[in-house]
Structure 1
């Protein structure tokens, strides 16, 4: 097979042997350039030197390529809408009605089914006064249907593309099924863009969202069924990772999923024997059907790299959920470590849980989140000076330097001064425990973890846990 791009010189036919040759052909063509493709038929040995040409087929094809900003390839694949004419065959009555729906949407007219039984399907245009009518009936094989009659011409003005009742969520799900199989997290906006190009439709966001969820369920199984695999996943992970601490809980009322804790032995050993005794705690909200919150514990290794210790899916962020998480983590790393420091944002209920379960541990607060809280609740005419003093006190390595900045801050805002010295957390480097080996006062590596697993946050519990497991496994292998 060879090809030549019309309008280019010299007229040279290039060989098509591999996928790369096809890609080159597509890249060289556009709406104004047509490609002439020549197929040569040989007779004789496989070696063309001992064969002779028995025929040449040549045809021109106008090739269009749609480029997406995301990955260079259009995510919306052009669907095949059957052009319904007299004599067209369909597998059954349902196939005919589905094809008729797609054809009507593409041609911008409404359809009303007037009669439908085992032997025939009759449909008309839904616009009052339009004489268009189609009939398909059962074939001799007692299963397939064939279009027998198409009467009248459309005199209707068309219908509102945005409010097309034929374009249901189920229909959209069927159209985008192959696309969702390749790109499960495709956005409703991208789906709408593809439907607009193909069918001229502009559908509501929620209808597109429901269609995507339905397509996911058709391909990967329903989200509800996903939670049934929690016991199986737990048993499999424990079997493949001896010594790990993996557990889950469920609500006795309705036997519904509640929490799932995962801490692999290799991660615990790596923390105890190869990381600084500093643990970052953070929470991020999940985006799957039943929402929930992902709590995580991360540390830093000797190269200041992110090191995941444990993670858990819980129903909500509260003192009770944090306590459950920390108790499970305490069963593996211990709760009486002489040198241990936690750093976190001002998470709901976390401070009380740490003081209750790890009474000897230090609890640092991220200065960035502390400053956001100060900025929200304390007003001052000299805001920039106040910010400079707070950050200077937080970055001070000695008590003398910190007290100097706090003294200046007292003159500027006595209420803020009282607030800072009454905090139950450590927020200045001068207050940090000796022996931790890391003077960080921000929770940046927790934010790095959240960004690292951002693509998993849309998944239900089992898929989420397993996807993070894959990431942790790759991280440990590096």
Structure 2
């Protein structure tokens, strides 16, 4: 419906009347309003890089939630996003200060965080009794020196997994830098420490605490020199027999006699070579290696704590605790979906070993010993859990020869598999 012209005029007069009343009220409160203009033409009221009112406090408020979700928020991203979302032009320095302030509000100040370690340590001992903590302060100047922690859940868990530890260190990227040293068990963190630098003294202190924690279960060897991983040294380490090791070692010595002789001076092959490592699965003599010859487990831990390494020390420790808790919970749920006796990954290895051995013929020597006619033929003792290929003893898991021997013996192969691989233990 089209309104008559006089109706339009009346509406305009009413609107003007409202405007006048509004202006009269404003006049009583703040002065005289000369003109009302609904179109805003004076520009954006918020500051820009050319307006000093754009401060890091404003940036901190805007990015606080983002920093909480993503501790490693980059100032360059903040500069781009504030320009894109709000039309704000800010400098990198303002963005950096804003992110630092937001991080301090969310995660605490770096300096204050060191003071909170005492409180945090006491709280851990209350809520997770029998944890192990060693906090070192310089009493003369009252400053932080080193911090070692292992939660009781990790200590107890180590009693149920393969007795292997992997050691490594990584940089801390907080304001005061330092290093994070870690002892990682297979599939789980065991203990970690924050120190000022990665040196012999700090590693000795770390291992001393680890020794207290684990007692006789822990064995380690100190080497005075490190050289790069060489192919020839790797071949020596993986050689399954002494004869094979000696052949590979002669080749290694010829590569650089002086360096190799000095390197091997205090490093007996029993500490690093499969051929000489004979205490397989014997808790009194150090246990087995379970086929592990590298520190990949610790490298995974380093990646796992990539973001927390940038946070204040107390927050760093607590985030790692939270991640350990979530990891244990996730794996507890994960294993309820598995069927069978041993973990899914090991079950797949067992199936692969069975498929590899199907074509081999087997001769029985006595109740326990079988000859497997592979290439070459080997003897398998299903009671002593040994095979002449030595892979069963090296890996702590039945090799293909053992699988076919068990198949012919009628025995249950799961009875010979280390409990560390079972679903119940996991």
| TM-score (ref. length: structure 2) | 0.57
Shift of residue 194, structure 1, vs aligned partner: 0.8
Query: In the aligned structure 1, how far is the partner of 2:296 from the partner of 2:276?
Result: 20
Per the alignment, do residues 146 and 193 of structure 1 end up closer, same or farther by CA in structure 2, a change over 3 Å counting? farther
Shift of residue 443, structure 1, vs aligned partner: 0.8
Query: In the aligned structure 1, how far is the partner of 2:32 from the partner of 2:106?
Result: 30
User: Which of 245, 249, 269 is residue 132 of structure 2 equivalent to?
Assistant: 245
User: Which of 163, 167, 170 is residue 281 of structure 1 equivalent to?
Assistant: 167
Is 1:432 paired with 2:283?
no
Shift of residue 280, structure 1, vs aligned partner: 1.2
- Matched-pair contact (CA < 8 Å) for 1:298–1:307: yes
Is 1:269 paired with 2:121?
no
User: Which of 221, 228, 244 is residue 374 of structure 1 equivalent to?
Assistant: 228
Tell me the SS of whatever aligns to 2:293: coil
Map Cα deviations across residues 38-91 of structure 1 (whole Å, 9 max, x no partner): xxxxxxxxxxxxxxxxxxxxxxxxxxxxxxxxxxxxxxxxxxxxxxxxxxxxxx
Can you give the 5+ residue segments of structure 2 that lack an aligned partner in the other structure? 1-27, 36-40, 43-47, 281-286, 333-426
- Higher helix proportion, which one? 2
Map Cα deviations across residues 377-401 of structure 1 (whole Å, 9 max, x no partner): xxxxxxxxxx543332221122211
Is 1:399 paired with 2:250?
no
- Higher strand proportion, which one? 1
Tell me the SS of whatever aligns to 2:228: helix
Tell me the SS of whatever aligns to 1:242: coil
Moved more, 236-245 or 408-417: 408-417
| TM-score (ref. length: structure 1) | 0.52
Query: In the aligned structure 2, how far is the partner of 1:165 from the partner of 1:395?
Result: 66
Is 1:459 paired with 2:311?
yes
Tell me the SS of whatever aligns to 2:165: strand
Map Cα deviations across residues 163-206 of structure 1 (whole Å, 9 max, x no partner): 876655445334433433443331223212213324363733x5
| Higher RCO (CA < 8 A, seq sep 6+) | 2
Per the alignment, do residues 251 and 164 of structure 1 end up closer, same or farther by CA in structure 2, a change over 3 Å counting? farther
Q: What are the equivalent positions in structure 2 for 1:207-246 lying under 5 Å apart?
A: 207-246=94-133
Query: In the aligned structure 2, how far is the partner of 1:410 from the partner of 1:177?
Result: 59
Query: In the aligned structure 1, how far is the partner of 2:326 from the partner of 2:178?
Result: 26
Can you give the 5+ residue segments of structure 1 that lack an aligned partner in the other structure? 1-138, 155-160, 301-305, 344-349, 353-364, 376-386
Is 1:316 paired with 2:168?
no
RMSD over aligned CA atoms reads: 3.6
Map Cα deviations across residues 199-257 of structure 1 (whole Å, 9 max, x no partner): 363733x5533321122224444222222321211111101111221231222244222
Query: In the aligned structure 2, how far is the partner of 1:308 from the partner of 1:147?
Result: 70
Query: In the aligned structure 1, how far is the partner of 2:33 from the partner of 2:202?
Result: 62
Query: In the aligned structure 2, how far is the partner of 1:411 from the partner of 1:179?
Result: 58
- Matched-pair contact (CA < 8 Å) for 1:278–1:341: no
- Matched-pair contact (CA < 8 Å) for 1:295–1:314: yes
Aligned length: 285
